[in-house]
Amino acid sequence: MILSGTIANAVAVLIGGVLGLLIGKRMPEKFGQAIIKTLSLGVIIIGISSALTESNILVVLLSLALGTAIGEGINIEQKLESMTHAVERRFIKGTGGFTKGFVTATLLFCVGSMAIMGALEGGLSNSHQTLYAKSVIDGIVSVIFAATLGVGVAFSSISVLLYQGIIALTAGSVKDFLSPEVIGAMTSAGGMLIMALGFKMLVDADLKVGNMLPAVFLPVALVPFYNWVAGLIAVL
């Protein structure tokens, strides 16, 4: 089911938010941070397993190189951060506890490469490992956030469901027009980005994963081009 990972993620945020309201501030923040650091190792493994699905590594590497160049030129990471700050200024300043908790948690759980990559993975290949890992991480974070920001954090599960669900369903609707080779290359490139996310979580590495996002979509053009060139060379 295309939405399995998204539904699991939304439920994890909801349960975590409720637990956070019940526990209050009794859970030390360092516990959550330590657990998330440990879970980052699992994220890296998931990324590696996805990256190894494609045998045409040349297309994947070209996608990563060109995609990162495009992302750096557009500066996607900075634009995402600017959008986040703009939303925070618009909706959080001077508002009550519910709105602050809802908007803060929504931005945290939705505006990120892992949300996009996980939803795309679910839609394209019906694989939900990334979103299952994100569910565990978001569930833990929502406990901590709900303890301090209130019930709005639990309601951000609706945002997660809608945002990631739309991405997954959109990806699922176009996958029939993509060849298995293209989907494999997109999955592999996405796995590389998930690995980068894991390393960033683990050691706080200076990796602008948002700027790498175009790499996931470039195989749509690069795989046919590569096959054309390979066929031309074979004829010559």
The total of other beta-carbon atoms located within 10 Å of residue 82's CB is 11
> Does the structure show a pLDDT above 90 at 27?
no
Contacts for 102 with CB less than 8 Å, ≥ 6 apart = 152, 153, 155, 156, 159
pLDDT of residue 16 exceeding 90: yes
The whole-model pTM stands at 0.82
The letter for the amino acid at 28 is P
Q: Of the ranges 147-151, 221-225, 232-236, which one carries the lowest mean pLDDT score?
A: 232-236
70 band by pLDDT with thresholds 50, 70 and 90? very high
Lowest mean pLDDT among 14-23, 89-98, 138-147: 89-98
Q: pLDDT per residue over 124-145, tens digit each?
A: 888 898 999 999 999 988 998 8
Residue 91's pLDDT is what?
A: 67
- CA dist 41 and 159 (Å) reads 27
**How confident is the model at residue 92, as a pLDDT?**
65
For CA atoms 169, 172, 173, 174, the dihedral sign is positive
- Number of domain units in the chain: 1
Q: Is 95 a residue whose pLDDT tops 70?
A: no
Domain that holds residue 69: 4-235
| pLDDT at residue 96, as a whole number | 60
Helix (H) or strand (E) holding 70: helix 57-74
